[in-house]
């Protein structure tokens, strides 16, 4: 009985931590949208409780939208790279564009996807895939592309390397979307 109560309490604490992180992000995302210029990207992601990217090095990116998928690819001059992909029949019509992961596999029934993150550290690369947790495409339109992530990541080269990840990406008025009339088919707030 003690173990069962401990387990329930642990789940409660985890849900509280996740919801407080997400509400904190809402404020930070709003502030970023106020400060960023058009077509500028803020990548605010922590891995192992440390900022994964140097905030002074700007990101650029591409967004590819079509019926079966949404593909976001971000890069910076230091060799940083974030790739987010959502796939599924009429993915853009789903109420929530959140992809859940357990043990590196997608748990969401109607949508599938991937979240890859990497950087160059001097001469060697460091990269991870989302292992447990979720990422969510919260907004995609002329005004912004907003993505959040929380959970754990794993090295694709060493299963023993697992680290916590949390953070968000804000791309204000993404040029690939503002100049593409066909993209409006896939927009949502």
| Residue whose pair of structure tokens reads 């904190």 in the numeric block | 24
**End-to-end CA distance of the chain, in Å?**
45
pTM of the full structure: 0.86
Answer yes or no: are the C-beta atoms of 188 and 141 closer than 8 Å: yes
Tens-binned pLDDT, residue by residue, of the chain (189 aa): 444 333 334 334 444 444 455 677 899 999 999 999 999 999 999 999 999 999 999 999 999 999 999 999 999 999 999 999 999 999 999 999 999 999 999 998 889 999 999 999 778 899 999 999 999 999 999 999 999 999 999 999 898 999 999 999 999 999 998 878 888 889 988
Answer yes or no: are the C-beta atoms of 21 and 91 closer than 8 Å: no
Q: Give CA–CA dist 37/133, Å, rounded.
A: 31
The values of phi and psi at residue 90, to 5°, are 50, 50
Q: Give CA–CA dist 68/19, Å, rounded.
A: 30
């Amino acid at each position: 009985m003690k173990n069962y109560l401990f387990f329930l309490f642990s789940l409660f604490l985890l849900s509280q931590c996740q919801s407080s992180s997400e509400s904190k992000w809402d404020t930070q995302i709003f502030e970023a949208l106020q400060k960023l210029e058009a077509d500028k990207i803020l990548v605010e992601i922590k891995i192992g409780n440390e900022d994964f990217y140097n905030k002074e090095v700007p990101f650029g990116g591409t967004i590819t939208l079509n019926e079966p998928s949404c593909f976001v690819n971000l890069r910076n001059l230091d060799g940083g790279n974030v790739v987010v992909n959502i796939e599924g029949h009429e993915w853009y019509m789903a109420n929530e564009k959140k992809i859940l992961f357990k043990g590196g596999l997608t748990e969401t029934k109607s949508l599938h996807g991937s979240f890859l993150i990497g950087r160059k550290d001097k001469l060697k690369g460091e990269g991870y895939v989302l292992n447990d947790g979720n990422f969510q495409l919260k907004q995609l339109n002329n005004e912004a592309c907003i993505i959040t992530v929380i959970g754990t990541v794993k090295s694709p080269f060493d299963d023993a390397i697992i680290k916590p990840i949390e953070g968000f990406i804000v791309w204000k008025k993404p040029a690939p979307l503002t100049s593409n009339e066909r993209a409006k088919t896939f927009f949502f707030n």
